Amino acid sequence: MNEQHSAKPHITVSNMTMAYGDFIIQQNLNFTVNHGDIFIIMGGSGCGKSTLLKCLIGLKEPSAGAVSFDGEDFWGSDDDDRLTMKRKFGTLFQSGALWSSMTLAENIALPLSLYTTLGEKDIAELCSYKLSLVGLAGFDDYYPSEISGGMNKRAGLARAMALDPEILFFDEPSAGLDPISAKLLDDLILELRDSLKTTIVIVTHELASMFSIGDNSVFLDAATHTQLTTGNPVELRDTSPIPDVRNFLLRGEPNELSDKGKAL
């Protein structure tokens, strides 16, 4: 899991401040996500993880600072350039957020029909293939309301992958999934990264999953309204000098590993 990838910055966040009106959510955020990384955004409830994700995927403009993709400023670009950048993202929302008036196949087909010149047959084949990737082969003509929450989430992932994005964003992917499904989803995420070289950004507080798949992370703190640290989640757990971060990653339990780490 600590496999080294070419450390080429993909997403760079510099001096970013997010606020709703006068209410500052987070300020002075600085971190870099490299190509092929699985990057975890973590922190306690209500610290602004989801808001940070919104700033990254273009739903909310930060009140200061910049986000850039491959060195290109995202919020400073004009609408057309921003749209081009957006098409390189795929996002899996917390609830799946499938369009409820369309079947699963139509959900996946929509971005394909808008942004590619593929014919109907090709699109239908692609949809079936993407659905089979997430274990939903044969569910093409089901409506989101006819399948379970976990299946909705997987179908949402299939839609996020429709355009073979360079970056996949996940908002709490394992929330509401049973442990086995959550593990399968983690495996799927690793597989996607390894085979497609996709950069992956995940908002989560599922400890097991962040330790098993995370390469790098940023820890947001609700009290100080800024990031406390960045780094590999396992290393942070074992060696972080910041008690709050270790506490969070060890669920507030005694830090045996960290003591060992220090002794070494």
Q: How far is the CB of 184 from another protein (least distance, A)?
A: 23
226-230, strands of its sheet edge to edge:
72-73, 64-69, 9-20, 23-34, 226-230, 216-221, 38-43, 199-203, 167-171, 89-92
Binder of another protein out of 39, 93, 219, 248 (CB under 8 A): 93
Distance of CA 9 to the CA centre of its chain: 16
* 152 to 191: interface string for another protein, x by CB under 8 A: -------x--------------------------------
Distance of CA 201 to the CA centre of its chain: 3
Residue 89 is a binding residue for another protein (CB under 8 A): yes
Residue 97 is a binding residue for another protein (CB under 8 A): yes
Residue 95 is a binding residue for another protein (CB under 8 A): yes
The pair of three-digit structure tokens given for residue 42, joined into one six-digit string:
């973590």
Nearest-5° Cα angle at 260, 233 to 2: 30
- Binding segment (CB under 8 A) for another protein, from list 107-115, 175-183, 210-218, 251-259: 107-115
- Binding segment (CB under 8 A) for another protein, from list 20-28, 51-59, 183-191, 224-232: 51-59
What is the Cβ-side half-sphere exposure of residue 132, based on CA atoms within 13 angstroms? 8
* 114 to 153: interface string for another protein, x by CB under 8 A: xx--------------------------------------
B/e letters for 72-96, b = 16+ CB within 10 Å, e = fewer, are: eebeeeeeeebeebeeebbbbbbeb
- Binding segment (CB under 8 A) for another protein, from list 37-45, 61-69, 87-95, 189-197: 87-95
Closest listed residue to residue 15, CA positions, set 59, 54, 73, 58: 73
Binder of another protein out of 68, 91, 128, 216 (CB under 8 A): 91
Residue 35 is a binding residue for another protein (CB under 8 A): no
Q: How far is the CB of 4 from another protein (least distance, A)?
A: 30
Residue 83 is a binding residue for another protein (CB under 8 A): yes
Nearer to another protein, 108 or 220 (CB): 108
Q: How far apart are CA 24 and CA 251, in angstroms?
A: 27
Nearer to another protein, 30 or 50 (CB): 50
Q: How far is the CB of 259 from another protein (least distance, A)?
A: 25
Q: Residue 187: enclosing H or E segment and its boundaries?
A: helix 179-196
Q: Which residues pair with 216 in a beta bridge?
A: 39
The pair of three-digit structure tokens given for residue 77, joined into one six-digit string:
């670009």
- Binding segment (CB under 8 A) for another protein, from list 90-98, 192-200, 235-243, 253-261: 90-98
Closest listed residue to residue 150, CA positions, set 107, 112, 182: 182
Q: How far is the CB of 93 from another protein (least distance, A)?
A: 4
The pair of three-digit structure tokens given for residue 244, joined into one six-digit string:
């709050």
Residues of this chain that interact with another protein (CB under 8 A) are: 54, 57-59, 83, 86-87, 89, 91, 93-95, 97-101, 110-111, 114-115, 159
